[in-house]
Amino acid sequence: MTGGKEEKRERVREIASEHYQRGDVLGWFEALYKEAAGDNEVIPWADLEPNRYFRRWVEEHGLKGNGERALVVGCGLGDDAAYLDDLGFDVTAFDISPTAIEWAKKLHADRKIKFEVMDLFEPFRGWTCGQAGSLRSGGFDFVLEIYTIQPLPIEMRQKTMDAIAAFVAPGGRLVVVTRGRGDDEEVDELPWPISRRELAWFQDAGLEEKSFVVYPSDEDDEPERFVVEYSRPAN
């Protein structure tokens, strides 16, 4: 596909809006991956390499997997999952789009990553843990979420964060990478950046904020990125 990032994002907004008008807020991801028909250039976020801001954060924080169980939320084509695999995690990654997961499996066929089709609002049994203090167990040692919250409707934001927080096991960690905005800054078009005030919902969901890093965007006219690390207290 030829055309710049903005042109691609415009097509994404068109597909999303067609689905929204039918009351379907999640179906457009599969429609977009299908329309791409194997051409990653059609998908604005699919650049076949790990997220640059996450990689910078990893290098600055010296993150290592040491065989811990990691989960990648909304993994798309799986490049961040492959990066966690390189860092030594035992990686599971999921996405709601069957086409994305099939594509990711082909791209990373030489790796042991477990790719699954799953809606984060309907998690598999054993993938989540209860709130702090609950007797339920499950969850992952390390959870990575990059750009999955921001394209979902703002009205669903707290529910989305609750669902993601539930994947973090007692003593486990979550890292979130997102476009950021000021608390009182209005949002206009998709993808809708996240404010610090909204991110505090992760704390309401039982997590503790460990670090909050702001990186300037490396593209013109793009918001800065927040990379935030949380942990769930051990039982």
* Angstrom distance (rounded) from CA 77 to CA 39: 11
218 binds ligand SAM, rule: CB under 6 A: no
Sign of the Cα pseudo-torsion (232, 70, 39, 36, in order): negative
The residue assigned the tokens 């924080």 is 61
Omega of the bond leading into 191 within 30 degrees of 0 (cis)? yes
**Residue 172 binding ligand SAM, by CB under 6 A:** no
Nearest-5° angle of CA 32, CA 38, CA 39?
A: 80
Q: Can residue 54 be called a binding residue for ligand SAM (CB under 6 A)? A: no
Q: Which stretch binds ligand SAM (CB under 6 A): 1-9, 102-110, 114-122, 225-233?
A: 114-122
92 binds ligand SAM (CB under 6 A): no
The answer to whether 40 contacts ligand SAM (rule: CB under 6 A) is no
What's the burial of 112, exposed, middle or buried (CB within 10 Å: 0-12/13-18/19+)?
Answer: exposed
Residue 71 binds ligand SAM (CB under 6 A): no
Asked if 99 touches ligand SAM (CB under 6 A), the answer is no
- Does 146 help bind ligand SAM (rule: CB under 6 A)? yes
Size of the site for ligand SAM (CB under 6 A): 20
Q: Examine residue 128 and tell whether it contacts ligand SAM (CB under 6 A).
A: no
**CA 185: distance to chain centroid?**
22
Q: Which residue's CB is nearer to ligand SAM, number 126 or number 171?
A: 126
**By CB under 6 A, residue 201 contacts ligand SAM:** no
Across the chain, the runs of DSSP E, i.e. the strands, are 69-73, 90-95, 114-117, 140-146, 168-181, 194-195, 208-215, 225-231
Of the ranges 15-23, 101-109, 142-150, 213-221, which one interacts with ligand SAM (CB under 6 A)?
Answer: 142-150
- Between CA 43 and CA 52 the distance in angstroms is 17
Question: Closest distance between ligand SAM and the C-beta of residue 215, in Å?
Answer: 15
Provide the residue type at 115 as one letter. Answer: F
Question: Residue 147, interface with ligand SAM (CB under 6 A)?
Answer: yes
Site residues, ligand SAM (CB under 6 A): 26, 29, 45-46, 51, 74-76, 95-97, 100, 119-121, 146-148, 151-152
